Amino acid sequence: MVKISFVCPIFNKEKYLSVVLNALKKQKGNFRKEYVFVNDGSQDNSLERLRSLTKNWKNTKIISQINKGPASATQRGIDSSTGDYIKLLGGDDVMSENCTNILLEVITKNKTVAVFSRYQLVKNLNKVKFDQHPPLNLRILKNPLKKTILSNYSGTSPNLYCNKTIKKSGGCNLKLFIEDFSLVLGIAKYGSFSFIDNVTSCGPSEDPNRIMMGQKTQLIHDFNAALYYFFMKNNSVPNHIKMLACKKVIGRTEKWARRLKNQSIFNKMNFLKLKLLFGNKNYQNLIKQACLFFYSDFNDEKIRYKIE
């Protein structure tokens, strides 16, 4: 029987754990379950609450570490897992009862290395109601690396990943704070991806402590840095893909500078655009320069794990 490892990093999620773990415990399906929780240096009562809520659970591991961020905590959980598939779960996300089962059905029937579904933000996690449908609008993407770079495929709770493929790819990049994009980039070299339109999980829409809301600068930086490190490790990627990645990196950094940091249109990113336009093929260096731009004097936000 297939085994699923549920890997859940937790940092200061005490107020969500009851509803999150209740939904986790109710996951339906004909598969064996393993639960791996990683307390990433929480400063509230998350660890005590976690221990209390899972004290009667079987096949459960609780790991604690000093705060290192989602990439480190997620990879720590993956390294400790023994399942055939990895079901990541955000510490403030609620899954539908059929979430894991429908994702497992899609990934096994289509022999892909990852399956992606939909995710929604809601005001009240305690009042979430999921529609129960068979897989909706199934798509299979072969050779997904290019599209992963251009569309930023990522995510945790709505997705399911092949553990063997994660191990082969190296998993999350520990030189980054954010976990999911580097994870998906790595496995995009090794197999096809599946996509369905079912909403399988939800998260709180009004919590400023969520990374996608309160740490947008870190998020954008890490999307860029993930590509920088990926190309360092995978120099054989065709130049046309590197060029598209470079264009993507410079473009989103320029938008960040203007929209969030009030920089003029004459910022350094537009200078890099010109260099790219006039044939500069040192894509690795251009991506590096875009990453370094986040450390400029005008940025009052501290970036964790700056590029080397």
| Same domain? 186 vs 227 | no
The phi and psi torsions of 186 (rounded to 5 degrees) equal: -65, -45
| Same domain? 194 vs 164 | yes
CA 88/CA 276 separation, integer angstroms: 37
In a domain, 44, yes or no: yes
Is a pLDDT exceeding 70 seen at residue 235? yes
Per-residue pLDDT tens for 25-59? 999 999 999 999 999 999 999 999 999 999 999 99
Is a pLDDT exceeding 80 seen at residue 210? no
In a domain, 69, yes or no: yes
Looking at 164, 179, 207, the residue that finishes a domain is 207
In a domain, 234, yes or no: yes
| Same domain? 97 vs 181 | yes
| Same domain? 161 vs 271 | no
CATH number where 102 lies: 3.90.550.10
Count of CB atoms situated within 10 Å of the CB of 111: 11
In a domain, 263, yes or no: yes
252 — pLDDT class (breaks 50, 70, 90): very high
In a domain, 302, yes or no: no
| Same domain? 261 vs 179 | no
Q: If you search the block for the tokens 């909403």, which residue do you land on?
A: 199
308 — pLDDT class (breaks 50, 70, 90): confident
213 — pLDDT class (breaks 50, 70, 90): low
| Same domain? 163 vs 291 | no
| Same domain? 270 vs 151 | no
Span 274-290, mean pLDDT?
A: 95
Is a pLDDT exceeding 80 seen at residue 231? yes
In a domain, 61, yes or no: yes
Distance in angstroms between the alpha carbons of the first and the last residue of the chain? 44
Per-residue pLDDT tens for 59-68? 999 999 999 9
Looking at 207, 224, 245, the residue that finishes a domain is 207
Per-residue pLDDT tens for 82-93? 999 999 999 999
Write down the mean pLDDT value for the chain. Answer: 95
Distances (CA, A) of 284 to 70, 177, 239, 249, 279: 25, 20, 10, 11, 14
| Same domain? 189 vs 263 | no
Of 117, 99, 97, 94, residue with least CA distance to 193: 117
In a domain, 306, yes or no: no
Structural domain of 276? 215-295
In a domain, 303, yes or no: no
Amino acid at 213: M
| pLDDT of amino acid 206 | 81
| Same domain? 24 vs 92 | yes
For the chain, how many structural domains are there in total? Answer: 2
Task: Using a pLDDT cut of 70, give the percent of the chain over it.
Answer: 99
Contacts of 205 (CB under 8 A, 6+ apart): 121, 122, 123
| Same domain? 15 vs 124 | yes
| Same domain? 231 vs 198 | no
Span 13-29, mean pLDDT?
A: 97
Residue predicted with more confidence, 240 or 206: 240
Looking at 207, 232, 251, the residue that finishes a domain is 207
| Same domain? 161 vs 13 | yes
